[in-house]
């Protein structure tokens, strides 16, 4: 195991260090943060042997150059990687050798993840490296010129294409539980929530995701300050709907007409702009059952990824990959 230094050559504005989040602080006004797509993040960690923190990227991507030693890494979610011009695809694990440059792009969705086989060294706040992007607390936003240090790094993991995540059965249909401020809406708005179609927009950040569609005009927006949770469908005074995500406010805000159930939250946050969105209301009991079933499927999937972590054969040396990169770039 060794120490690896990665220089950030270029990065989109929402590139940040994330770990599993900081639960338990919402009563003090601190959201859990952590990755927007928690399932994709967990897959990257499992693919790198149980790492606990990595890099979240959004459109704009990130480019890193390995300045010292070599490290195995994985890309998941909407991320797709090239190393020295060789396309390694998405949902993959590979080795970044010393001197090589890796370009990670985010395609056809909103959030991608870069994991490393080792320990990412970054500041911690309230016991977590997760970055609250607006406040800048935690591991921090990454930009051009920054250096990321990986300690206890492993570079000898075999290349792998990771198994696809278990998908939801109906594309574009998201389940939600009505409330908690449904009494702030008239019957027309409540009916439109499930009968109308919405569209995922390009208006998103780590706090939330905007949805275009018919106005769900609230009857009033004055209400006592109350808790806000991840997955809530918040409606502003003009009837525009937003999904609350990782860095959402913990109290206050506009009335929440419904809350998307746990297995569907991150999938909605990942939808590419222009994708159609429909909502289906379910009971609290149905939401709990669906959440437990999804957690069981995800646990089995993550175990499958972890079981595939193995060292590469002695013949699979980094210089063979380097040679491929040279030939790829040679004109004939």
In sequence order, what DSSP letters do the residues of 215-247 get, joined into one string?
---BS-------B--TTEEEE-TT--EEEE-TT
Q: Are residues 50 and 149 in the same domain?
A: yes
Structure confidence by residue, pLDDT tens digits, 282-300: 999 999 999 999 999 999 9
Our count of domains for the chain comes to: 2
Whichever domain contains 207, its CATH number is 2.40.100.10
Q: Are residues 30 and 149 in the same domain?
A: yes
Q: Where does the pLDDT of residue 313 fall: very low under 50, low under 70, confident under 90, or very high at 90 and above?
A: confident
| Interatomic CA distance for residues 225 and 63, integer angstroms | 42
Domain presence at residue 138: yes
Q: Are residues 256 and 141 in the same domain?
A: no
pLDDT, position 324: 39
Higher pLDDT, 9 or 328: 9
Find tokens 């977590």 and name the residue.
128
Q: Residue 28: which domain range?
A: 2-159+312-328
**Listing from the earlier edge strand, what are the strands of the sheet with 92-96?**
16-19, 53-57, 112-116, 71-77, 92-96, 160-161
Q: Are residues 26 and 135 in the same domain?
A: yes
- What predicted TM-score, i.e. pTM, was given to this entire model? 0.91
């Amino acid at each position: 195991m060794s120490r690896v230094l990665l220089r950030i050559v270029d990065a989109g504005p929402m590139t940040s260090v994330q770990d599993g989040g900081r639960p338990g602080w919402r009563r003090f006004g601190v959201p859990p943060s952590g990755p927007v797509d928690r399932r994709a993040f967990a897959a990257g960690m499992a693919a790198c042997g149980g790492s606990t923190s990595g890099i979240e990227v959004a459109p704009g991507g990130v480019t890193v150059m390995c300045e010292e030693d070599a490290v195995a890494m994985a890309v998941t979610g909407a991320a797709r990687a090239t190393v020295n011009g060789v396309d390694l695809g998405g949902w993959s694990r590979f080795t970044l050798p010393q001197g090589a440059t890796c370009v990670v792009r985010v395609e056809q969705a909103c959030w991608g993840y870069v994991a490393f086989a080792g320990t990412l060294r970054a500041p911690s706040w309230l016991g977590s490296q997760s970055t609250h992007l607006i406040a800048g607390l935690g591991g921090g936003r990454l930009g051009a010129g920054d250096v990321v240090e990986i300690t206890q790094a492993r570079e000898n993991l075999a290349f792998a294409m990771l198994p696809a995540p278990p998908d939801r059965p109906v594309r574009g249909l998201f389940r939600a539980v009505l409330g908690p401020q449904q009494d702030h809406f008239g019957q027309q708005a409540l009916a439109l929530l499930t009968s109308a179609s919405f569209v995922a927009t390009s208006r998103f950040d780590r706090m939330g995701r905007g949805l275009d569609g018919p106005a769900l005009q609230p009857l009033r927006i004055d209400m006592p300050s109350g808790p806000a949770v991840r997955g809530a469908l918040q409606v502003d005074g003009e009837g525009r709907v937003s999904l609350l995500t990782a860095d959402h406010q913990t109290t206050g805000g506009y009335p929440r007409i419904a809350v998307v159930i746990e297995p569907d939250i991150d999938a909605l946050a990942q939808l590419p702009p222009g994708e159609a969105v429909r909502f289906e209301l379910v009971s609290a009991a149905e939401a709990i059952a669906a959440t437990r079933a999804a957690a069981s499927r995800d646990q089995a999937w993550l175990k499958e990824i972890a079981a595939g972590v193995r060292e590469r054969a002695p013949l699979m040396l980094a210089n063979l990959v380097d040679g491929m990169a040279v030939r790829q770039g040679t004109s004939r």
